[in-house]
Amino acid sequence: MNEFQHQQPRSTAETAPPPQDEALPASVRGAVDLGAVPPAGTGTPPAGREGQAGGYRREVTAADFQDVAQLSTQVPVVFSLWAGFSQQSVAFTDTLEQVVDRYRGRMLLASVDAEAAPEIAQMFQAQSVPTVVALLGGRPVPLFNSTVPPEQVAEVLDELLALAEQNGITGAVEPGRTDDEPEPLPPLHQEAVDALEAGDLDTAEAAYRRAIAENPGDREAKLALAQVHLLQRVLPMDAATVRAEAASAPDDVAAQLAVADLDVSGGHVEDAFRRLLDLVRRSAGEDRDAVRLRLLELFDVVGAEDQRVVTARGALMRALF
């Protein structure tokens, strides 16, 4: 496929943290999105796509080619082969998507990264990108091997649909998930999110605990549970009283833990970490261990990748050893 990968398309046209309410930390506001991480794609998906597609477009790899090709017994399946080195092919595939979507499921666009799936490119004997070939009942119908204006695309696809109808291919397919729709949450996660939205922290906690019991490796549930625990501690507090008690008793572990919780819930993450790190350095025995454990829990609430957590985690290691 080296010849294919370096050959240029025949067409010469060039297409070109605000302050938080102390009662609800930003990290807990985001708990409804836990588990909704989009799957990683292969290659360089067109127009910022990440291996997923909405409307009547599917991102196709060698692994799912046969499943998509099978749909050609129901609707015309238009395979558009593109490559990251050719912005013309990327843009043209997006143009095809817009036109195909107008048919409301009477045909399907199969988008193929020819560099990531060279076997599909070989199957269609593609020598350049874009290459566009339709399948009707499993039989190939060549359409384009260069970019053309959208109105010409529509004319050709109208003819394709008429040909499909002549051959008894008159079905329809359902639209896929759009890019801004999240993946459905696992049932227990959804139960917890619904409880959070209703203000029922105990039910949310129980749901996340059941999720962890069923799958001890469920990191999202563990992080969300830490967020729920923070809410459970913070909501009953009177902020003014807690801060006054902490100011009058700087070595009172319980008072310092409480105000650190308030700081994290209010978005003052660095203040909370600094307070508890100082307390780790001044304390010993069970007190020190209690502070260390609270810090670790707050690290989970904020997020392991957050630079403030990375910095504080390093400081904690130095304070302990």
Q: How many residues comprise the chain?
A: 321
Whether the pLDDT of residue 3 is over 80: the answer is no
Cβ proximity of 110 and 79 under 8 Å: yes
Would you give the distance in Å from CA 296 to the centre of its chain?
Answer: 26
Cβ proximity of 279 and 315 under 8 Å: no
- The 10 Å Cβ neighbour count of residue 203 is 16
Cβ proximity of 106 and 94 under 8 Å: no
Give the model confidence (pLDDT) of 253-288 as tens digits: 999 999 999 999 888 999 999 999 999 999 999 999
Domain ranges of the chain: 37-166, 187-320
Give the model confidence (pLDDT) of 165-181 as tens digits: 999 999 999 887 555 55
Residues in contact with 307: Cβ distance below 8 Å, sequence separation at least 6, in sequence order: none
- The enclosing H or E element of 256 equals helix 253-265
Give the model confidence (pLDDT) of 229-242 as tens digits: 999 999 999 999 99
Q: pTM of whole model > 0.85?
A: no
And the tokens for 295?
């810090």
Strands (E), the chain: 57-60, 77-82, 108-113, 131-136, 139-144
In the CATH hierarchy, which fold is given to the domain comprising 37-166?
Glutaredoxin (3.40.30)
And the tokens for 222?
């563990």
Whether the pLDDT of residue 9 is over 50: the answer is no
